[in-house]
Amino acid sequence: MAASLNTLFAIVILSLLGKGFCQCELRNITVTQTDTGGAIHGKSEYKVTVTNNCICSQYDVKLNTEGFSTTLEADPLIFNKETGLVKNGEPLYPHESIKFNYAWDTRFSLNPVSSRVACS
């Protein structure tokens, strides 16, 4: 009986420790934008960098695309402007960044709205 309790206790402790090492949240996805100084079809060009600042991968990362317009089409495998999906839903690995450009009169608020965490 004591061996069973010790085993159960060890499983619970290891489970809690495992969760402690992977406490990723949506806030671990950051989006930065910089004005490139260029213009496309008379619109200002912006470079967007989406970064996963967590020790675990996050996939199905989506950005808010409400009202988003651009005269410069990004590769939909990098950023799909209709769905907001980044990297076609593939994982953004720990501390990985992905970049794309767009062009419009003003900068858009492309904040992250959802993701799923994958811890090993």
d(CA 107, CA 113): 17
Per-residue pLDDT of the chain (120 residues; tens, 9 = 90+): 666 655 545 454 444 444 445 688 999 999 999 999 999 999 999 999 999 999 999 999 999 999 999 999 889 999 999 999 999 999 999 999 999 999 999 999 999 999 999 876
CATH number at residue 32: 2.60.40
- Structural domains in the chain (count): 1
Say if 29 falls within a structural domain: yes
Say if 46 falls within a structural domain: yes
Distances (CA, A) of 63 to 8, 12, 39, 81, 85: 41, 36, 23, 9, 7
**Cα 103 from chain centroid?**
21
d(CA 39, CA 70): 12
What pTM did the predictor assign? 0.80
